[in-house]
Amino acid sequence: MAHTSAAAAAGHKPKKSKQSPHSGMSKALIRRETISAYCFLLPSLLFFVTFVVVPMFICVFYSFTEYGLGGVKGFAGLDNYLKLFQDPIFHRGFLNTVLIVAVAVPTVTAFSLWVSSAIYKMHAIPRSFFRCVFYLPVVTGSVAITVVWKWILDPYNGILNQVAGTTGFDWLGNQRTAIWFIILILFTTSIGQPIVLYVAALGNVDQSLVEAAQVDGATKLQVFWKIKWPQIMPTTLYVMVITTINSFQCFALIQLLTKGGPLNSTMTIMYQVYDTAYRLNDLGYACAIGVVLAIIIAIFSAIQFKLAKTDD
Amino acid sequence: MNMKRPLAFLLAAGMTLGLTACGDPSQPGSSNAPASSSPSANSPDSSAVTLDLWSFNIGSFTEASNWDSILTAFNDKYPDITVNVTPINYQDGDQKLTSAITSGSGPDIIFEGPERIVGNYAREGLMVDLSDLWSKSGSDIAEGISSVSQLDGTYYMYPLSAAAHCMAINYEVFEAAGALQYIDEETRTWSTDDFKAAMEAIKTAIDNGTVSVATPGIVYCGAQGGDQGTRALVNNLYSDYYVTEDGTSYNANSAKNVQALTLLKDMVKNGSLSANASYAAAEELQAFANQTCAVTFCWNYSNYTQYAEQAQFTPFAMAFPSDDKVPALEMAGPYGFGVFDKGDQAKIDAAKTFIDFVCNDQTVGTQAVKTTGFFPVHSDWGDVYAGDADAELRAPFALMSDYLGRYYNLTGGWTEQRALWWPMLAEILTTDADVQTAADNYVNQANANIK
């Protein structure tokens, strides 16, 4: 342990042990444990395959068909995908989605790390209090949250206009401001989980390394970057990937607040999937949009994994 | 090989695609047991049929229990047919129906209007021919209602009730602002100039502090909910139509409609109206009930009953203003039934029996009509509200039926154009966009879907 930590503190990657985790175990025991592990995995695996993997392949299949309310009318080939390139709403939705991700992911990650750094050393009671405060929007229903924000942003009776003295200004009905309020509300509902994770991750940082670095005269910034940051990197990666996926899939806020408007200024790819499928009943095209969104998310996730340079 | 990375990608992709491909788990009839209001006394036998009826929240048909007395009467006469009612609403009803229909678990009967029954489902070949019901009992139903219940000469909907969409004013605010002079209280009509003058009078009264509303009126353009109001407002101002006479083109870019849109834009600019791209009809109605605005463009008896308790003023139903004071209102409904063709003749026959009973039995039909809050499509039934305690309150809405205009909601590409109408309004009324250009763009896009 000491060897590993010292190597990490020195900025070197710890050498992976070539020893098998099963060293010293009999083959029968390994087999028994493997079977037990699969048994434990089975319920969630069944659920995952039934409700995620199978629909995923069904969706890919339908994306190549002309699929409406009356069922599959024929094979569409790549038509649904080609349509995407000519669809200005998709283009707008793509740009808005990228904007939401580009703003939300770094701000959520940075803010939650900042808050966690401030509270993880606190006494248990205030620490729990702050965790509760920031986690509250996560457990509060999105409908309740949007209703409150609607009140705040109402053009005539909203608190924001009362405070700002801009009575009548339609924050969610203005092309320039609507998307930023979507991002703001998404931000408030996204920071809870990262804060809880970061508080736990920071609490697990090896204090002996921190103390050793401090004894060696390391500044607070150096301690953070050289000691803490590498150790919380897996958490950071998880937070970034989850926030990226959540941002890409931002739907409820838009459905409840703006319906993609005004003038598609808050349209996202995810909302277009819903709108195309359930309002326009063009299910084949909706599936194609969903497939493209999945590919985009996978690319973003791959980039994040690559940048984070970790195997976790 | 390290499997974590590909597994993570698979998870990310699956989480996205799952939403598209999976049916909504909250859909009625799947994980959530449908609210059943069927009598349980029936003993099943070989001829027993169970029907699923999905009912949109029309009038007071908001809960399954409101069907109870109708179903009890039906089961007294037809004990072998059980009807399970699932109420759905306009917020997510389309999503639930789409999920259910595509997964093969859709209802047997739907209670809605021709826009969905004929325009959406019959056009997709999903509905049963109801011409036999029309032949049997439809002779006293008005031609306008008959024509919208059919597609290519085949009847797919059998109607129960209908009414007219109108608007309403806050009577006390109009009185305080001196704007009552601009309305004809007897006929409940007003001219475009009267409307303009009334709104300006209220704006002046707001500025003077005479009235406490925040704005004279709100043109909502944040979603398609209640878009019949904004359609009727634009079309009536200079007496034009939403769709050309031959139904081959949407018509927002006609000279008269552009004139109407320009007038609204000017009124928004001078403050005698507001335009809100974050408001749909529900928000505007709430603002009207809260006395935030002095008029609503989305009114009917159903909305009246919904907001009556909240409104601490007199909501006075009015026809939409028009230059010639001859309004052409959009029909609310006609609301009625359609039967999904699921290949089960016994269910189809039972569904027709149910529809025939609810729509053609005058006693039960009257009860059903009153629950919708509208008026019967059978002219032979006369005034079903005569003698009722609230007959006087309903009178203005009965008057509105005299102003019914053309029904254009079955024009091809209707669903698609609805998604274009309110963004066009938002573009015109909340930005500096050129009215004619925005209207032309809307018409070009809307016409692309007319088949």
| Residue contact B215–A168, C-beta within 8 A | yes
Give yes or no for residue B362 having a pLDDT over 90. yes
Query: B410 phi and psi, to 5 degrees?
Result: -105, 10
For residue range A155-168, list pLDDT tens digits in order: 998 999 999 988 88
Instruction: Kindly state whether residues B182 and B193 are assigned to the same domain.
Output: yes
Looking at B368, B383, B403, the residue that finishes a domain is: B403
Give yes or no for residue A237 having a pLDDT over 50. yes
In a domain, A74, yes or no: no
Helices (H) and strands (E) in chain B, counts: 17, 13
For residue range A88-120, list pLDDT tens digits in order: 999 999 999 999 999 999 999 999 999 999 998
* Mean pLDDT over the full length of chain B: 88
In a domain, B2, yes or no: no
Instruction: Kindly state whether residues B289 and B438 are assigned to the same domain.
Output: yes
* A179 contact partners, CB below 8 Å, separation of at least 6: A96, A99, A100, A265, A266
Instruction: Kindly state whether residues B92 and B240 are assigned to the same domain.
Output: no
In a domain, A99, yes or no: yes
For residue range B313-356, list pLDDT tens digits in order: 999 999 999 999 999 998 887 999 999 999 999 999 999 999 99
**Range A213-237 average pLDDT:** 91
At residue A83, the 3 state secondary structure works out as helix
- The model's confidence at residue A19, banded by pLDDT at 50, 70 and 90, is low
In a domain, B123, yes or no: yes
| Residue contact A257–B278, C-beta within 8 A | yes
**ipTM above threshold 0.90:** no
Rounded-to-integer distance, Cα A65 and Cα B210, Å: 62
For residue range B198-226, list pLDDT tens digits in order: 999 999 999 999 999 999 999 999 988 89
| Residue contact A263–B125, C-beta within 8 A | no
Contacting A residues, span 88-117, partner chain B, CB-CB under 8 Å: none
Instruction: Kindly state whether residues B172 and B94 are assigned to the same domain.
Output: no
**Range B360-384 average pLDDT:** 91
In a domain, B6, yes or no: no
In a domain, A275, yes or no: yes
**Range B40-52 average pLDDT:** 66
Q: What is the pLDDT of residue B338?
A: 97
More confident residue, A11 or B208: B208
**Residues comprising chain B, all counted:** 451
Rounded-to-integer distance, Cα A187 and Cα A197, Å: 16
Give yes or no for residue A184 having a pLDDT over 90. yes
| Residue contact B278–A173, C-beta within 8 A | yes
Instruction: Kindly state whether residues B144 and B180 are assigned to the same domain.
Output: no
Decide: A97 and A177 in contact? Cβ < 8 Å: no
In a domain, B129, yes or no: yes
Q: What is the pLDDT of residue B373?
A: 86
- Total domain count, chain A: 1
At residue A153, the 3 state secondary structure works out as helix
In a domain, B199, yes or no: yes
Give yes or no for residue A2 having a pLDDT over 50. no
Rounded-to-integer distance, Cα B167 and Cα A72, Å: 42
In a domain, A35, yes or no: no
Give the closest-approach CA distance of A156 to chain B in angstroms.
7
Residue B321 is part of which domain span?
166-328+412-447
For residue range A261-288, list pLDDT tens digits in order: 898 999 999 999 999 998 888 999 999 9
| Residue contact A170–B5, C-beta within 8 A | no
Residue A235 is part of which domain span?
87-308
Q: Quick one: CA torsion of A90, A69, B65, B52, rounded to 10 degrees?
A: -160
* Mean pLDDT over the full length of chain A: 87
For residue range B263-316, list pLDDT tens digits in order: 999 999 999 999 999 999 999 999 999 999 999 999 988 888 888 888 889 999
In a domain, B20, yes or no: no
| Domain containing residue A291: CATH number | 1.10.3720.10
More confident residue, B46 or A133: A133
In a domain, A16, yes or no: no
Give yes or no for residue B33 having a pLDDT over 70. no
Instruction: Kindly state whether residues B60 and B144 are assigned to the same domain.
Output: yes
**Range B47-70 average pLDDT:** 91
- Total domain count, chain B: 2
Instruction: Indicate left, alpha or beta for A24 from its phi (over 0: left) and psi (-120 to 50: alpha).
Output: left
In a domain, A243, yes or no: yes
In a domain, A132, yes or no: yes
| Domain containing residue B241: CATH number | 3.40.190.10
In a domain, B78, yes or no: yes
| Residue contact B124–A312, C-beta within 8 A | no
| DSSP H or E stretch at residue A62 | helix A54-62
Instruction: Kindly state whether residues B38 and B151 are assigned to the same domain.
Output: yes
**Cβ–Cβ contact A295 with B under 8 A:** yes
Instruction: Kindly state whether residues B318 and B180 are assigned to the same domain.
Output: yes
Q: What is the pLDDT of residue A27?
A: 85
Instruction: Kindly state whether residues B315 and B192 are assigned to the same domain.
Output: yes
Instruction: Kindly state whether residues B147 and B199 are assigned to the same domain.
Output: no
* A183 contact partners, CB below 8 Å, separation of at least 6: A99, A100, A103, A104
- The model's confidence at residue B35, banded by pLDDT at 50, 70 and 90, is very low
The minimal CB distance from B18 to the residues A51, A258, A298 is found for A51
Instruction: Kindly state whether residues B399 and B267 are assigned to the same domain.
Output: no
In a domain, A186, yes or no: yes
Contact residues on chain A for B423, CB-CB shorter than 8 A = 261-264
Contact residues on chain B for A171, CB-CB shorter than 8 A = 278
Give yes or no for residue B437 having a pLDDT over 80. yes
* A203 contact partners, CB below 8 Å, separation of at least 6: A120
Contact residues on chain A for B103, CB-CB shorter than 8 A = none
Instruction: Kindly state whether residues B223 and B291 are assigned to the same domain.
Output: yes
- The model's confidence at residue B40, banded by pLDDT at 50, 70 and 90, is very low
How are beta strands B315-318 and B166-170 bridged, if at all? antiparallel
Rounded-to-integer distance, Cα B441 and Cα B451, Å: 18
**Range B351-380 average pLDDT:** 93
CA distance readout (Å), A96 to A87, A104, A169, B346? 14, 12, 22, 51
Burial of A63 per CB tally in 10 Å (0-12, 13-18, 19+): buried
In a domain, B221, yes or no: yes
Contact residues on chain A for B279, CB-CB shorter than 8 A = 170, 173
For residue range B113-167, list pLDDT tens digits in order: 998 999 889 988 999 999 999 999 999 998 889 989 999 999 999 999 998 899 9
